[in-house]
Amino acid sequence: MDRLRNGGLNPYIAGGLTGVLGVLSVWIAGKFIGASTSFARGAHGILNLFSAEHASGLQYFEKYFFKAGDWQLFFLIGIIAGALVSALLSRSFRWQAVPDMWRARFGASIGKRAVVAILGGAIAVFGARMAGGCPSGHGLSGIMQLSVSGFIALIMFFVGGIIVAHLIYAGGERKLTPPAGSETPGGEQ
């Protein structure tokens, strides 16, 4: 049913295989999956270009500094490549500036989407670094280890996210939305 609805792999199977991948990564490479640390390291790399003196004065960057050969950096590059190949092979690649759901509520303006997305990204990483991880590091890797911080973090991610998503989409879509089941009209064959 999910295959028919989304044109993808059953999410239980894709998820289960992701669990196996996460375990193998720990076993073979000794690395737990995570993503948000790289944005702190990347921030250090950029700040270092403009003011190395200022960057070296920040305590946080003593631990999370830019590392060109970092496992997680290449893990993230791998995600882009894997999703690209998978999307092209399954003909679900779609060059899109504004997501369908966003457009139905807020219109097709790229600028409006950009401002909110940049703001959202900045807030999200601030929170993730404060909490010590994101849905990958806390949600997947943390809970796999039965870490208390992982469970609390995931619950709080959802509490914050559900409240704000309901606030910004209060009143529903302005225009007609595509019926459930054709989430990307014309996109997927």
Partner 1 sequence: MTILYGLVTGFIFGILLQQGRVIRYDKQVGLLRLKDFTIIKFMFSAVLIGMIGIYLLLGLGLIELSVKTTVLGMVIIGGLIFGIGWALLGYCPGTQLGALGEGRWDAIWGIIGMLIGGMIFAEVYTPLKNSVGTWGDFGKITLPAVIGISPWIVIVILLVLGVLLFWWLERRGL
| Contacting partner 1 within 3-42 (CB under 8 A) | 6-9, 11-23, 25-36, 38-42
* Exposure of 177 in the CB half-sphere (CA atoms within 13 A): 16
> What's the chain's length in residues?
189
Does 133 engage in binding with partner 1 (CB under 8 A)?
A: yes
171 contacts partner 1 (rule: CB under 8 A): no
Q: Does 66 bind partner 1 (CB under 8 A)?
A: no
Beta carbon nearer to partner 1, 52 or 101: 101
Is residue 48 at the binding interface for partner 1, with CB under 8 A as the rule? no
The three-class DSSP label of residue 49 is helix
DSSP type of residue 176:
P
Instruction: Find the largest Cα–Cα distance for the chain.
Output: 57
- Please select the residue that binds partner 1; options are 52, 91, 107, 119, rule is CB under 8 A: 119
Rounded-to-integer distance, Cα 7 and Cα 91, Å = 10
> Binding residue for partner 1 (CB under 8 A) from 56, 74, 109, 174?
74
Q: Is 52 in the site for partner 1 (CB under 8 A)?
A: no
The conformation of residue 142, written as its DSSP 8-state character, comes to I
Binding status of residue 93 toward partner 1 by CB under 8 A: yes
